Amino acid sequence: MKLKSTKLLFLYRSFLFRFVKFETDNEKLENIVKALNIKNRKQRIEFIYAEMIKSISNYYKEDLCQFKNNQCIAQRKNKSNYTNGCCRLCLYKTGGDCLVNNVACKMFYCNAALKNFKELKYNDLELFKVLSITNQFMLKSDYFTKEEDVIKDLNYGILIGTLRVTYRFIKQFIYYKKN
């Protein structure tokens, strides 16, 4: 079946189209077609996630946070005593580049970082539209979380995903209190 636009994605990713193979003549829709042709839910989420990480990294090539002596541009501007920028309370901070590959974190830049740079929006990422509304919401909110956990949250769906997020939130809160 030929895909011409992104209008009916909610239908095309559903069970009804499980045995339909999609094609397209539009270069811009090629990745969407690849995603729709992956019929296994987890594998499709993994593909979308990996492609989104690639697109975000390609877009944000510049060093917008400008870390110096472990303080980012916002912390230096505000003469803060804290270090590690907005990762300072995260369990996974390394003091350098984050290795966790979290989409929500990679999409976040504060006003100080974006002063002379146009922000990338979720809707600029074609593959984001292939996710369901609830998965879009979860992906956007799942900060401070490892890639494999975000993928599990998206795969399990909103109910189990929310329980998992709540558990991690409590763990994060305890870490915050201790630090």
Binding site for ligand SF4 (CB under 6 A): 65, 72-74, 85-87, 90, 92-93, 98, 100, 102, 105, 109-110, 112-113, 143-144
Tokens standing for 175?
């870490």
CB of 83 to ligand SF4, least distance (A): 10
| Closer Cβ to ligand SF4, 108 or 137, answer by number | 108
Please list, in sequence order, all residues whose beta carbon lies within 8 angstroms of the beta carbon of residue 126, skipping any fewer than 6 positions away: 6, 28, 29, 31, 32
Number of H helices, E strands in the chain: 8, 0
- What whole-number distance in Å separates Cα of residue 38 and Cα of residue 21? 9
CB of 159 to ligand SF4, least distance (A): 24
Rg of the chain over all Cα atoms, to the nearest angstrom: 18
CB of 169 to ligand SF4, least distance (A): 13
CB of 65 to ligand SF4, least distance (A): 3
| Closer Cβ to ligand SF4, 32 or 100, answer by number | 100
